[in-house]
Amino acid sequence: MAQHDYIIANQSGAAFRADLNNALAAIVSQNSGAAEPSVTYAYQPWADTTTGLFKIRNAANSAWITLYQLDGEWSTIALENGTAAAPSLYFKDSGTDTGVYSPGPDQVAIATASVQRVNFNGATEVVFNDGGADVDFRIEGDTEENLLLVDAGNDLVRIGGKYNILKGFNRRPPVHRGPLFYKTAAATLSVVANSALNGFFYDTATAVSMPSHSNNTDYAIWQHPTTGALVADASFTSAPAGASGGSIVGGYHYIPSGRPTAVNNGSPTAAAEILEYSIWDLTWRPSCPDPRGMACIDERFWCDLYLCGSTSYAGTDFTAVPSSKIGLTIADGNNPPLIPAIYGGDGATAYSLVDSKGAGSWYDFAEVASSFGKRLISWLEFQHAAFGGPENGSRGADPGTVIWERASLWGLAQSTGTLYSWGADVQGNTGGGWTSATGDRGDVYQSGYSAVVLGGNWGNGSVSGSRCAAWLDAPSLANSALSARFAAGHLVTC
């Protein structure tokens, strides 16, 4: 530390050299000292070792201006307060500074005449226009480590902490397989760490708040709109209290005990549980609009857990009756399915006998499947989906309704030996002649064509099973032993 008056007097050689060295020492040490230099000059620097601040003399040589701390930080420095007319790095938090700052071509405009607060000195946030219902621009550093928020309305953008780039943004962790929700016990779920759902980032595994479950029931996972909290609930139309105002980001199906875990009804489960194959989220789900009552088969396609109901009717929201639901009357030749709206239905009129096409034919169920964004299952797919269900045996009587029995490994109820399911596969010959029976929608030129029926019915005995397939029935046929369950593609995003 050294200071000097920067006046070199006439003196002897040795004294001159000592005086000059002292002046140079003051220069290289920035006039450092515990007290200010005794002689000062305009724009003279001073490293104040008492306060730990670096200062410079003003132009009038009448006061010191603090520039920064000697350790390079700014934590103890209060810069001069800025105004709308003369903006600075620091706006003192003293209410509202009015006026509009007019920017240059490379500057950011303040949206309204109200500049509420801009504070870099130890405060937690920088806020422009904080007086209205929405925040137009905001930089924060609160306990959730939010770094940026633009527009606090419905389309908020946040970066940092539990928030990600944009509402609606989803991200799967690298090389993660499966849904973003996973079972932590028979009746509990968590979201996978380092995943993003609907703009919320979950850096650690986060538990879903679970309800009291009922068997054979679908549950939605709701997300709170501001905290990102996850709450499961049986309602798909009204958010539960813990996620009020939120949206659905996933779901699952809850089943009773008795699901097999091996071939031919082997090693059945002993307790009710969340069906892990039914878990879906915004990044891992069936390709159809309504994911209720479905299971993902070997990460390749999705299949309805239940046979189609006679009142199943595709709608525009979750208030409609899904194609896969417990307790419905099974759709078949005696209780034909409803004609979908897209094919002229009104929600009450069922298929009927037209042009030798039976009510509940292959054609009818193919249309119902299409209305749900699904399709009839293929023979190959059915063999996988029905695996684990009872083989070489039937239940002995028509069940009439969708019930939990004869389940497969993947959770398909009434998988085999109950009612035949129409399959997607069709075979035919090119010879012969024109045959009607399509419901007055054109004839088929053939000598004999048929659609496959799968799984066996209640009276087939040892014929029934996961690989059971009959190729005798024309697509126009309908009877009380023919129903269908539908499949859909597998959609994985991000």
Q: In the listed set 53, 69, 85, which residue is the last one of a domain according to the structure?
A: 69
User: Are residue 187 and residue 61 in the same domain, yes or no?
Assistant: no
CATH number at residue 276: 3.90.1580.10
Confidence of residue 67 (pLDDT cuts 50, 70, 90): confident
Please report whether residue 421 resides in a domain: yes
The answer on pLDDT for 100 being more than 70 is no
Stated pTM of the model: 0.70
In 3D, which of 186, 171, 209, 347 has the Cα closest to residue 255? 186
Helix (H, G, I), strand (E, B) or coil at 366: helix
CB atoms under 10 Å from CB of 236, counted, come to: 18
**Cβ(352)–Cβ(373) below 8 Å:** no
- Summarize the confidence of residues 63-84 as an average pLDDT: 75
The answer on pLDDT for 129 being more than 70 is no
User: What does the pLDDT read at residue 108?
Assistant: 44
User: Are residue 272 and residue 414 in the same domain, yes or no?
Assistant: yes
Please report whether residue 484 resides in a domain: yes
User: Are residue 328 and residue 197 in the same domain, yes or no?
Assistant: yes
Q: In the listed set 52, 69, 86, which residue is the last one of a domain according to the structure?
A: 69
List 450's β-bridge partners, or say none: 427
Please report whether residue 251 resides in a domain: yes
List 281's β-bridge partners, or say none: 250, 284
Please report whether residue 74 resides in a domain: no
Q: In the listed set 69, 101, 117, which residue is the last one of a domain according to the structure?
A: 69
Report how many domains make up the chain: 2
Confidence of residue 4 (pLDDT cuts 50, 70, 90): confident
Q: Select the highest-mean-pLDDT range: 2-6, 127-131, 208-212.
A: 208-212
Please report whether residue 138 resides in a domain: no
Q: Which residue has the tokens 């050689």?
A: 13
User: Are residue 53 and residue 186 in the same domain, yes or no?
Assistant: no
The whole-angstrom separation of Cα 361 and Cα 474 is: 9
Please report whether residue 194 resides in a domain: yes
Domain that holds residue 43: 13-69
Strand positions, DSSP E, 86-144: 97-98, 114-115, 117-118, 125-128, 137-140
Helix (H, G, I), strand (E, B) or coil at 221: strand
- Summarize the confidence of residues 137-165 as an average pLDDT: 44
Please report whether residue 83 resides in a domain: no
- Summarize the confidence of residues 200-229 as an average pLDDT: 97
Name the least confident of 63-67, 243-247, 254-258, 340-344. Answer: 63-67
Please report whether residue 128 resides in a domain: no
